[in-house]
Amino acid sequence: MAFRLKLVPDHTTFDFFKHAWLTFGASVVATIASIVVALVLGLNFGIDFKGGTTIRTESTQALDVGLYRGAIAPLNLGDVSITQVFDPNFGPDQHVSMIRIQAQDGAEAITPDTIAAVEAALQGVDPAVKFISTESVGPKVSGELIWTAVWSVLAATLAIVVYVWLRFEWQYSIGALAALVHDVTLTVGLFALFQIRFDLTIIAALLTILGYSINDTVVVFDRLRENLIKYKTMPLKDVMNVSVNETLSRTVMTSGTTLIALISLLVLGGDVIRGFVFAMTWGVIVGTYSSVYVAKNIVLFIGLDRNKKPEDPSAKFFTEGAQNADN
């Protein structure tokens, strides 16, 4: 008999509304607190959003990022990011790195003297290092990147809400929107609270969190729609409890296996991707929580028309399109 791992029994009867005032209230308080923290403390923007200078190096010796970082640290240049560049066209003795240094005192770029000091420090630990190019990101470009990042998150959120509206009903889309705002706000608030570097990789993490969160939410909503047809006289709150319990095993297994991979990357992945992985880890946790305790609570508060047979508007759209094509 094959061994089957079960983190959750096949049949559970948890009452997810038993402490709704506490769980949903905590989410509201945490969301408001995150907004306040982000406004008061601000975000610790990385070079992408603050501007700075990028130095590209090449060496015949194997690149040691920790050694490079240790050599530059005494110069007190603030936010410094060092990453190794991989390219299949590089030779076996061609080791390339990108060193990004934040703008100093609001200047467009770091001064030639500072660049010379960085080069001297790196040559001290790697005599074979060569400096291929130096580029600067000015305040105007970094400011445009901030707005581009904001609009990308808003556009993704809007697209998801429209999809849920077409796939289900407008009440579901409001619940999905509340869950997405909850997840993104709490993630941004956490980064503001601990002043973790916030750059373009974190924007990528936020967009991924949106997709992961809505995936869990749609699974619950889809089962809810099926159960509304199956249990016509059962109170809406009880139907929601049944739906979440029926999808609980899938939710726990999906989130659990994802967290195993993320925690491994968080511990072993190194400094370069730690911010991204941390955002993703936190996002999976709050995304799973919001799917169970936020989205459905909003739908329950708004209410559903039980007299109207739940249907899939997108399926109706495609069916009518096929009929029109036949005619």
Residue with tokens 């060193």: 99
Question: Are 217 and 176 within 8 A, CB to CB?
Answer: yes
pLDDT digits (tens, 9 = 90+) for 100-119: 887 766 565 677 788 888 88
Residue 192 resides in a domain: yes
What is the mean predicted confidence (pLDDT) over 32-41? 93
Q: Is the pLDDT of residue 81 over 70?
A: yes
Identify whether 213 is part of a domain: yes
Q: Are residues 147 and 288 in the same domain?
A: yes
Mean pLDDT within 127-154 = 77
Residue 11 lies in a domain: no
Are 108 and 57 found together in one domain? yes
Q: What is the pLDDT of residue 185?
A: 92
Question: Token pair 């399109």 is at which residue?
Answer: 321
Chain-wide mean pLDDT for the chain?
80
% residues pLDDT > 70 (the chain): 84
Boundary-marking domain end, from 137, 171, 189: 137
Q: Which of 18-22, 307-311, 313-317 has the lowest mean pLDDT?
A: 313-317
Hey, what long-range contacts does 22-26 have (CB within 8 A, 24 or more apart)?
23/293, 24/293, 24/294, 24/297
| Pair 155, 237 in one domain | yes
CATH of the domain at 96: 3.30.70.260
Statement to judge: residues 101 and 169 lie in one domain: no
Final residue belonging to a domain, choices 114, 137, 160 = 137
> Between residues 105 and 135, which one has the greater pLDDT?
135
For β-strands 44-45 and 197-198, DSSP reports them as parallel
Question: How much is the pTM?
Answer: 0.73
pLDDT, one tens digit per residue, over 161-182 is 888 888 888 888 888 899 889 9
φ, ψ of residue 79 to 5 degrees: the values are -75, 115
Query: How much is the pLDDT for 317?
Result: 46
Is 166 contained in some domain?
A: yes
Given 120, 137, 154, the domain boundary residue is 137
- 3-state class (DSSP) for residue 134: strand
Tokens of 15: 């009452």
Q: How many domains does the chain have?
A: 2
The range of the structural domain enclosing residue 188 comes to 20-43+142-320
**The CATH number of the domain where 275 resides is what?**
1.20.1640.10
107 and 210 assigned to the same domain: no
Identify whether residues 217 and 72 lie together within a single domain.
Answer: no
Say if residue 314's pLDDT is above 50: no
Residues 6+ apart with CB under 8 A from 154: none
pLDDT of residue 172: 86
Instruction: Examine the domain organization and report whether 201 and 251 are in the same domain.
Output: yes
Whether 97 and 34 share a structural domain: no
On whether residue 120 sits in a domain, the answer given is: yes
> Is 30 in the same domain as 129?
no
Q: What is the pLDDT of residue 126?
A: 84
Among 30-44, 187-201, 244-258, 304-318, whose mean pLDDT is lowest?
304-318
Whether residues 33 and 74 fall in one domain: no
pLDDT at 253 over 80: yes
Across the chain, which distance is largest between two alpha carbons, in Å?
79
Residue-wise pLDDT tens digits, 212-222: 888 888 888 88
Contact 213, 283 (CB under 8 A): yes
Q: Are 158 and 225 found together in one domain? A: yes
Strands laid side by side in the 95-102 sheet: 80-85, 95-102, 52-59, 130-137
Helices assigned H by DSSP within the chain: 20-41, 47-50, 65-72, 112-125, 139-167, 170-194, 200-230, 236-268, 274-293, 295-302, 313-326
On whether the CB atoms of residues 161 and 176 are closer than 8 A, the answer is yes
- Position 14 in a domain: no
106 is a domain residue: yes
**What pLDDT is stored for residue 203 in this prediction?**
87
Q: Whole-angstrom Cα distance, residue 41 to residue 198?
A: 13
327 within domain boundaries: no
- Tell me: do 156 and 182 sit in the same domain: yes
